[in-house]
Structure 1
């Protein structure tokens, strides 16, 4: 099971302390050392609205490029893609992740446009990005519920995916952490027929302590990748009471012990989670594994 490390982007973007570029690079290096191979490292967003991501280009330029590691950058519009493509080829991301918010009210607050306008912009951005050789993920944010208007109909998410056009991956995001496992199953069943053969990925927050149950439901529903952040840090700066992503180390423990290889060393990941918490000035990170440690009897099972 693939874990997509989103700590350097989604994990940091809601934190008050803006970290130096060198610390962000060290965070990426620790993620790689823990076994993570697909990492969302930056967002090409407006620096005045998301100051933590103001050095996106510098991060991509300085990030190490070991074989087998892929970097993703978040873009929200055509200008964001322009900034990604303006980088010298060796510094470009391997992938872009474009967010379309499922509810109009949240979309206007997050991106300054309606969902329909955002989706239209995505189609143009996706075509340009794929032509440039970039892998394209469409993330449907607030797919499980909106903080301003409440429940989001499954049909709304299905129709957005159906109208998206060609895409390499679809990510369904519980941006505010309101989802429960039956929703995961229902959304997967609704989206697959309108995007046959397109891999599914899920993005969960643990706001109401259901994130790991939702991750288990996603595995059972055939999702191929799950987002998580080292330490469990993160949250959307435009959503009230937003809290962190499910923690990489806790998710990797859950999956590894369930017989699903992730390639992630949970002890190393927990160390990275604790370290980034220290850099952010947090008394403790939300992740649990760093407190309890790996199961000491695991070696008896190998």
Structure 2
């Protein structure tokens, strides 16, 4: 399977800060690569280099077989980019935003209008096409922003934390849209701090921290790299919760958590499960829930980076606590 996006040894520095320190990645055509990492890890810098908005100080990258530095104009014709915040014009209507982009791409007025209608229908925005975008909900703006990146039918999409700030329903709707785009043949590079998002959408995951790639693999492969499992036990009689907690603590050698009538504990040895069953059966404790769950991506993230994903603050700021931009070096957008 050919790589639609490929990079090797990408290095990018901003003054004394090294944002990228030898990043390698490859995205096969028609797949989703999830780029994970804590705030400031370098995710947005990777996207900006691949989208020709920044020049790497070392290394190389191609999109659709075209070098992002030597063939920047051709690369820009192949890509759509959706950033962390909707970039549509709030004073224009949904239709006018899409028409504007179509005309800037060189479409005739008729073709631009036809494409706008297609996208508004596809993204469930036909009813709002005549309204000013400033009246849209957050989810509607993000859908319109994604639609705007598709006006030119790009085969490659860079989605930089596209669901930041969305409620659960809007996130789920956007996930469905991304799945449909990939089913139609699009190749997607997705950056996100939401591990469930990567688990839902990504075929492959690259984890970066401090500008370095620290792990790669499918979601299941990454989960398999840690022996951590979670034991969950819920007694039928809530008054026996203390007995369950004591038994789990003794058999796992950990300090379990009891919340909402459920006792949970991290375990490494799956043999703990039958031991807990025997102990509680001997004590006459009936159970309504008993499970040994595999590691989550959050636990993998914790093992790899030393901190949970939830500790990362949203906002997409890169090293130094500030947003990087192409103005930091000369000729960045040349």
**TM-score tier (shorter):** 0.3 to 0.5
Q: Which is greater in Rg?
A: 2
TM-score (normalizing by structure 1): 0.37
Q: Pick 1 or 2: higher relative contact order, CA cutoff 8 A, min separation 6.
A: 2
Point out the structure with the larger helix share: 1
TM-score (normalizing by structure 2): 0.34
